[in-house]
C-alpha cells in the first residue's frame, strides 16, 4: 500500500518505519525542514531502540522517504496517517490546532479516494471535526476518516508496533475497514485481535487505557506509602496481589509517580472531557493529586533525613529520563526532584545514560552532569535513584561506598534487595519498604 505519515515525532516515525518494514511504500512529512533533511541523510532524530536498524534498511531499499511537501505525500498515497502533536491547550484540553490545520490543508490536496487516519491521541469527537474540516473543500465520496489510536510505549515502541496486543480501529466505513485490515494483518498473525468499533469508542479506548494504567500505578503508590507507615513491604504485597489472574503482575511497580508525555496529559484531558459532558470523574482528580505528590517522594525523604542540613549536602542523582530506554524527560520525576533539591540549596551531581543533554539545556551549570554513574557519586553525601536503567541494577557496591562520603541510598525504584543492602552496610530507603 502507499502510505503517508504526517508528523515525524516518535509515533509517526515508528509508524512509518514499521509499515515500510512490511513492504509498504511510506512517505513521511514534517514541516521541520532541518529534521527532514537529516532524515533524508539517514539520521534518526530520536532515540528509540531498534528503530535505527529498520530505518536504515527501509530507507536504503527505497520504501521509506521524507519530505516537507504535503502535496507530494498526498499525491503518492492512498492512506494518510496523522501523527501530530496534541499538546495541552487552554485549561488542559488537548489542542487540536495541528490536526485540524493539516485536515484543512488535505481538503484542498486530496484528489482520489483516501483514508485519513487519526493516530494521535485525540479527544472523543475529533474524527467528526476532522471530517468537517475535510468536507469543507472535498466531496464526501473521496475520503473516510478513521480513528486508530496507538498504544506504543516509548523505549519498546518498535516491538509494540510489530507485535501489538491488539489494534483498535474506529470507522463507520466498510471500504476503510477493509483497507485498515489489510494494513494491519501482517502484525497480528499470532492471533491478537484487530478490534473494529465506532469512531467515538476508539477515541475513548485510548484515554480509558492510559487513565486506567495511570490509576493502577497511582493505587500502588498509595499502597506503598501506606506500607511504609504500617510496617509492610510493598514488594511482597505486589507479588501477592499480582498473582491473582484478575489483577495480573504487570504495571504494579510503585515509584516516584508516573511521568512522560502521555499519562499526565491524557488523564487530565479525560477529566476535562468528563467535565464537558457534565460528568464528575472523581477518580481522575484523585489520581492527578496523588501523582503530583508522589513525584516529590524522594525529595521529601531527603528533606526528612537531612532536615536543614540538606542545604550543605551534595546529592548524586542516577536517572533523568522519565523512564529507562528513552531520552525523553517530559514530566520526568527527576526534574521535580532536582527543582526541590536546588530550592533547598543542595548540590546535584547527575548521571543518565541518554537524557543528559536535554536536562543540561534546562539547568545549565546549576547541576553537575557526570560522564558515568560512579563519577556522580564522587564526594556526594548520598545517592538518589529516580530512573530504573538496567545499568544501575547490579552496581559495584564496594566502589560506591568508597566514593560516597556516607553509605546512604534513596531508591525511588526499588532496585535492590533489602537484606543485601543491610549486609553491605548501606542506609537504604526505598518506596513502600522498611529502611
Ligand atoms: C504509555 C502507555 O503505556 C502506552 O500504551 C501509550 O501508547 C503511551 O503512553 C502513549 O499514550 O503514547 P509511555 O508513556 O511510553 O507509554 O510509558 P509507560 O511505560 O507506560 O510508563 C509511563 C509512566 O508510568 C512512567 O513514568 C513509568 O515510570 C511509570 N510506571 C510504569 C510506574 O511507575 N510503574 C509501573 O509499574 C509502570
Answer yes or no: 262 catalytic: yes
CATH of domain 207-293: 1.10.1040.10
Tell me which of 161, 219, 221, 255 to substitute to probe ligand 1's pocket, judged by most ligand atoms within 8 Å of the beta carbon. 255
d(CA 238, CA 41): 47
d(CA 16, CA 3): 8
- Angle (CA) 41 43 47, round 5°: 170
Helix 263-276 to helix 282-294 angle (10° resolution) is 150
**Residue position matching grid coordinates 492512498:** 78
Which residues line the pocket of ligand 1, CB cutoff 6 A? 121, 150-154, 210, 213, 217, 251-253, 255, 258-260, 262-263, 322-323
The pLDDT of 357-380, averaged and rounded, is 98
**Tens-digit pLDDT profile for residues 305-363:** 999 999 999 999 999 999 999 899 999 999 999 999 999 999 999 999 999 999 999 99
**Tens-digit pLDDT profile for residues 123-181:** 999 999 999 999 999 999 999 999 999 999 988 999 999 999 999 999 999 999 999 99
Fold agreement (2-197, 295-429): yes
H or E element in which residue 388 lies: none
Instruction: Categorize the per-residue pLDDT at 367 as very low, low, confident or very high, splitting at 50, 70 and 90.
Output: very high
Cell of 422: 543491610
- Top-tier CATH class for 2-197: alpha beta
**Residue position matching grid coordinates 499538546:** 87
Mean residue pLDDT across the chain: 97
pLDDT of residue 92: 77
Q: Is the pLDDT of residue 258 over 90?
A: yes
Domain ranges of the chain: 2-197, 207-293, 295-429
- Angle (CA) 101 106 108, round 5°: 110
Q: Quick one: which of 285, 388, 364, 301 has its CA closest to 337? A: 301
Domain 295-429 is found in CATH 3.40.50.720:
yes
Instruction: Categorize the per-residue pLDDT at 47 as very low, low, confident or very high, splitting at 50, 70 and 90.
Output: confident
Q: What is the atom index within ligand 1 of the atom nearest the CA of 322?
A: 26
Instruction: Categorize the per-residue pLDDT at 391 as very low, low, confident or very high, splitting at 50, 70 and 90.
Output: very high
Please tell me the distance between residue 152's alpha carbon and the centre of ligand 1 in angstroms: 9
pLDDT of residue 156: 94
Q: C-alpha distances in angstroms, 109 versus 104, 142, 381? A: 9, 11, 62
pLDDT of residue 270: 94
Query: With contact defined as beta carbons under 8 Å apart, do 178 and 171 qualify?
Result: no
Query: With contact defined as beta carbons under 8 Å apart, do 109 and 77 qualify?
Result: no
Query: With contact defined as beta carbons under 8 Å apart, do 361 and 342 qualify?
Result: no
**Tens-digit pLDDT profile for residues 62-113:** 999 999 999 999 999 999 999 999 888 888 788 999 999 999 999 999 999 9
**Tens-digit pLDDT profile for residues 167-224:** 999 999 999 999 999 999 999 999 999 999 999 999 999 999 999 999 999 999 999 9
| CA dihedral angle for residue 197, residue 203, residue 204, residue 206, rounded to 10 degrees | 100
Amino acid at each position: 500500500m502507499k502510505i503517508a505519515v504526517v508528523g515525524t515525532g516518535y509515533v509517526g516515525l515508528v509508524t512509518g518505519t514499521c509499515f515500510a518494514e512490511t513492504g509498504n511504500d511510506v512517505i513521511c512529512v514534517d514541516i521541520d525542514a532541518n529534521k527532514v533533511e537529516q532524515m533524508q541523510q539517514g539520521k534518526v532524530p530520536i532515540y528509540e531502540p531498534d528503530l535505527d536498524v529498520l530505518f536504515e534498511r527501509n530507507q536504503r531499499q527505497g520504501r521509506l522517504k521524507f519530505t516537507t511537501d504535503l502535496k507530494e505525500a498526498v499525491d503518492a498515497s492512498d492512506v494518510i496517517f496523522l501523527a501530530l502533536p496534541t499538546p495541552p491547550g487552554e485549561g488542559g484540553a488537548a489542542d487540536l490546532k495541528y490536526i485540524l490545520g493539516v485536515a484543512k490543508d488535505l481538503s484542498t490536496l486530496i484528489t482520489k479516494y483516501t483514508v485519513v487516519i487519526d493516530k494521535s491521541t485525540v479527544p472523543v469527537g475529533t474524527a467528526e471535526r476532522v471530517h468537517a474540516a475535510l468536507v469543507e473543500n472535498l466531496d464526501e465520496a473521496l475520503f473516510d476518516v478513521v480513528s486508530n489510536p496507538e498504544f506504543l510505549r516509548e523505549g519498546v515502541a518498535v516491538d509494540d508496533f510489530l507485535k501489538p496486543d491488539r489494534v483498535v480501529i474506529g470507522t463507520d466505513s466498510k471500504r476503510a475497514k477493509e483497507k485498515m485490515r489489510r494494513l494491519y494483518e501482517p502484525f497480528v498473525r499470532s492471533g491478537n485481535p484487530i478490534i473494529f468499533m465506532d469512531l467515538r469508542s476508539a477515541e475513548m479506548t485510548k484515554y480509558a487505557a492510559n487513565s486506567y494504567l495511570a490509576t493502577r500505578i497511582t493505587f500502588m503508590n498509595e499502597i506503598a506509602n501506606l506500607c511504609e507507615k504500617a510496617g509492610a513491604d510493598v514488594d511482597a504485597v505486589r507479588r501477592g496481589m499480582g498473582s491473582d489472574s484478575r489483577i495480573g503482575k504487570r504495571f504494579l511497580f510503585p515509584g516516584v509517580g508516573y511521568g512522560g508525555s502521555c499519562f499526565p496529559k491524557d488523564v487530565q484531558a479525560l477529566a476535562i472531557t468528563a467535565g464537558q459532558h457534565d460528568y464528575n470523574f472523581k477518580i481522575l482528580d484523585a489520581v492527578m493529586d496523588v501523582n503530583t505528590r508522589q513525584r516529590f517522594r524522594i525529595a521529601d525523604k531527603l528533606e526528612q533525613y537531612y532536615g536543614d542540613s540538606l542545604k550543605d549536602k551534595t546529592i548524586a542523582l542516577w536517572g533523568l529520563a522519565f523512564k529507562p530506554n528513552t531520552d525523553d524527560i517530559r514530566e520526568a520525576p527527576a526534574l521535580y526532584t532536582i527543582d526541590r533539591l536546588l530550592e533547598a540549596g543542595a548540590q546535584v551531581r547527575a548521571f543518565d545514560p541518554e537524557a543528559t543533554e536535554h536536562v543540561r539545556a534546562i539547568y545549565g551549570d546549576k547541576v553537575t552532569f557526570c560522564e558515568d554513574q560512579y563519577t556522580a557519586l564522587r564526594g556526594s553525601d548520598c545517592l538518589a535513584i529516580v530512573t530504573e536503567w538496567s545499568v544501575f541494577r547490579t552496581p559495584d557496591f564496594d566502589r560506591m561506598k568508597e566514593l560516597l562520603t556516607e553509605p546512604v541510598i534513596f531508591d525511588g525504584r526499588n532496585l535492590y534487595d533489602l537484606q543485601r543492602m543491610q549486609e553491605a552496610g548501606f542506609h537504604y530507603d526505598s518506596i513502600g519498604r522498611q529502611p
